[in-house]
Amino acid sequence: MATPHISAPEGAFAPSILLPGDPLRARYIAETFLDNAVEVTSVRNMLGFTGSYRGTAVSTMGTGMGMPSASIYLTELTRFYGVKRLVRVGSCGGISTDVKMREVILAIGASTDSGTNRTRYNGWDYAATANFDLLRAASDAAAAMGIRTHVGNLHSSDLFYNTYQNSLEVWKRMGILAVEMEAASLYAIAAEERAQALAIVTVSDHLVTGEETSSAERERTFDGMVKIALEALRNTPEPGA
């Protein structure tokens, strides 16, 4: 059952999926963490794989950068392929000085400057929030593994090269932990399609301290958030179960 952007047969994707922005990170996740993983789509080199983790069927697929790109894949995965639990595993730019490089954030909510959610929500402001069961399971999994996490609000930006005046000061004043580019759409589409969603992100660079990681590090070394996500999926009942 191919869609305009995913060429895969019906049943190719598991009900649970990990969603990095980078398709090469999806391949790394499949090769490193999943058993018997097979490639199920590669349209436009947006790679997708399905395998299993400790007996739980899990897929992973890239979404590209930004909400317009991610929204295409999120909609097609939920609406046409029956995906019910979606966990973004991505990088972010730290804002709060309480959050250090390579630390993990569990996003309870995602504010945004994008107009996409207003379009979905009749021009009003939509509160884009995580699924509580996934959030709790992720927090419990991180604690069990001894991985420090921060739970709080992200800002999902439409622009990587931000031209807004005083945006950093506004984000800091409002307690935003970090900025990224997909979580707000993830939460809104999950709500619209009656799915569960959570964004787990790792600080790859810091807007205040100026620290940063390389693209190779972002692709292959952020294993903590992937382990948290997989355990959260394994320990959260599917919607309707």
Which residues have a Cβ under 8 Å from the Cβ of 101 and sit 6 or more positions away? 94, 203, 204, 205, 206, 209, 211, 213
Which residues have a Cβ under 8 Å from the Cβ of 166 and sit 6 or more positions away? none
The residue annotated as part of the active site, out of 113, 158, 205, 223, is 205
**SS3 of 62, please?**
coil
Q: How far apart are CA 198 and CA 181, in angstroms?
A: 14
Residue 140 annotated to the active site: no
Chain position carrying tokens 């952007």: 5
**SS3 of 124, please?**
coil
99 touches 144 (CB < 8 A) = no
Output the CA–CA distances (angstroms, integers) from residue 169 to 11, 139, 161, 176, in the order listed.
46, 28, 16, 10
Return the structure tokens found at 135.
């959030």
Which residues carry out catalysis? 205
